Amino acid sequence: MSLVAELRTVLGSEDVLEEPVELHLFSKDASLMRGRPTCVAFPENAAEVSSVVQIAEKHRVPIVARGAGTGLAAGASPTAGGIVMVTTAMTDIEIDPANRTAWVGAGVINLDLSKAAKPYGLYFAPDPSSQSACTIGGNVANNSGGPHCLSEGSTTSHVLGMEVVLAGGEIVVLGGEAPDPIGLDLKGLIVGSEGTLGIVTKALVRLLPIDPDVRTLLMDFPDVETAAKTVSDVIAAGLVPAALELMDRRMCEVVENWLKAGLPTESAAVLLAEVVGETEGVISEAEVISGIALSNGAYGVQVADTESERALLWLGRKSAFGAIAQLAPDYYLHDAVVPRTRLVETMSAIYEIADRYDITMLNVFHAGDGNLHPLIAFDSSDEELNERVHRAGDEIVALCLSVGGALSGEHGIGIEKRDMMRLNFTDLDLDAQARLKEVLDPAGVFNPTKILPEGSRCFDYGGVRREMPDGVWV
């Protein structure tokens, strides 16, 4: 039986697509890389996913799990072909207010979870900019972050358990409401593995109580460096705000032109800070942050007085990538992380790179985490420009790693950054990671060719070597 026919016996014919136009729709995620899937499958539960895995292993075809396709690193682009397995039919939410947890289907949209939790006074902390579209399954696969993971951590800090389909179609529940499950933390390994080790069908997530009070501050600066210095100084002062986001002038201009969110467009940089907690705490923390900003030369500090003002400021921040469409049809984006003490020098050097390559670069990023998002707006049909953009991108990444940074803070490696992994890790480190993949996906069907560069496992360690004469130890 053909692959598609066999999948249809399990999922029904309407849940397996193979028309060219349908395949084209699922041929890429939000990155620039397109693949060619054999078919698109929509399983509704772990049992169906298990059957799909077994069929894929039998036919030796890849499975590329996909939520909303908002990933930026081609993690969900079927670049090696195979089955694109869409999780959006798995949308159950079961909230457990007493334990402050929820079992959530992989296809649930991030924001829908927080909306469902709101009546209980709870919310889900990870809030990627794409939160109105992206799914929990995608968040788990990419260990997604967002502005508010500065104080609360990325997705991995909020996944307490999972239902996951492993190689051979084995369905396993890992973790649970009780803390510290015994044995190796496979769940912690699977979060962030971009669908390469198994398919998460449900996640047990931690919900946090909604903070009683919040202050959102908008500070504008004469240059990006003083804004970046303010970020470093706030952290050094012992404050960990809920969020600390930086936008440069060009970014503010395109957002304002589109949304009129109230961002200043005359200043070189805008810093958005949010402090949460009880009223006494947020008032004093907001004062400290204002004081640091003003002493660093901020033009001014505005505090959002109402929930609607606050919402508008965040809308401006979270719509930044969408606003780019006004400038150019494509954007190329890295998300390297640098130590927060190196922000000022790194930002200066990044602008210097953009000038040297004569490219249009905008910056909007999670400054509090040191997670940069230098965004290059361009037209990918211009081959010469395309080449320049990618060379500039490579140089930016190399710069970030040279100051002690890491390749990706929240977008993942996928294919886009795969071949840069060697800049971040030694051969032995990559070999160790490849061993994890080998053990959990012996048939090689789970999103192959992603994360690890080719040859990662080929490193010849040589096993146990004899460096001392026989008989010395025994």
Partner 1 sequence: MTYTPHHIARFGVGIEGGPTSGMALAPREEKDLALILRHASERDLVVQVWGGGTHSGFGKPPPPDLVVSMEHFGEIEVWEPDDLTIVVGAGARIADVESRLAERNQTLVMSERPSGGTIGGSVAAGMSSLRRGRLFGIRERVLEVTMITGDGRTVRSGGRVVKNVTGYDLHRLAVGAFGSLGVIISVCLKLWPTPPSSATVTLDDPEEAQLVARPLAVLDVNGAHKLFTWGTEAEVEAHLDRLGGIAVPGLDWPEDPSGEWRWSLRIPPALVSEAVDRVPDGWTYVAVMGVGEIRAASADHEGAADLREWAESLGGSLVVAAGDPDLFDPWGSPPPALDQQRRLIAQFDPRRVINPGRLPGGL
Q: Which string of x and - marks every residue 434-463 that binds partner 1 (by CB under 8 A)?
A: -xxxxxx----------xx--------x-x
Compute the least distance from the CB of residue 192 to partner 1, in Å: 5
Bridge-based pairing state of the strands 122-123 and 300-303: unpaired
Contact flag: residue 373 with partner 1 (CB under 8 A): no
Q: Which string of x and - marks every residue 98-137 that binds partner 1 (by CB under 8 A)?
A: xxx-------------------------------------
Contact flag: residue 411 with partner 1 (CB under 8 A): yes
Distance (Å, rounded) from C-alpha 9 to C-alpha 52?
Answer: 11
Give the one residue of 25, 111, 406, 443 binding partner 1; rule: CB under 8 A.
406
Compute the least distance from the CB of residue 465 to partner 1, in Å: 6
Q: Which string of x and - marks every residue 33-72 that binds partner 1 (by CB under 8 A)?
A: ----------------------------------------
Q: Looking only at residues 242 through 261 of this chain, which bind partner 1 when binding is defined by CB under 8 A? A: none
Residues 6+ apart with CB under 8 A from 270: 218, 219, 220, 221, 227, 246, 247, 248, 252, 263, 264
Q: Looking only at residues 312 through 341 of this chain, which bind partner 1 when binding is defined by CB under 8 A? A: 337-341
* φ/ψ of residue 41, rounded to 5: -120, 145
Give the one residue of 119, 182, 308, 454 binding partner 1; rule: CB under 8 A.
182
425 to 367, 414, 431: CA distances (angstroms): 24, 16, 10
**Vertex 291: Cα angle to 290 and 295 (nearest 5):** 115
Compute the least distance from the CB of residue 470 to partner 1, in Å: 10
Contact flag: residue 387 with partner 1 (CB under 8 A): no
Contact flag: residue 184 with partner 1 (CB under 8 A): yes
Contact flag: residue 181 with partner 1 (CB under 8 A): yes
Query: How many CB atoms neighbour CB 435 within 10 A?
Result: 12
Compute the least distance from the CB of residue 358 to partner 1, in Å: 29
Nearest to 13 by CA among 39, 45, 35: 39
Give the one residue of 81, 153, 262, 322 binding partner 1; rule: CB under 8 A.
153
Contact flag: residue 393 with partner 1 (CB under 8 A): no
Give the one residue of 174, 243, 272, 298 binding partner 1; rule: CB under 8 A.
174
Give the one residue of 14, 20, 179, 266 binding partner 1; rule: CB under 8 A.
179
| Residue 365: CA count within 13 A, CB half-sphere | 30
Nearer to partner 1, 43 or 147 (CB): 147
Contact flag: residue 149 with partner 1 (CB under 8 A): yes
Contact flag: residue 20 with partner 1 (CB under 8 A): no
The region, left, alpha or beta by phi > 0 then psi within -120 to 50, assigned to residue 82 is: left
Nearer to partner 1, 22 or 96 (CB): 96
Compute the least distance from the CB of residue 339 to partner 1, in Å: 5
240 is written with which tokens? Answer: 């960990």
Number of residues in contact with partner 1 under rule CB under 8 A: 98
Compute the least distance from the CB of residue 64 to partner 1, in Å: 18
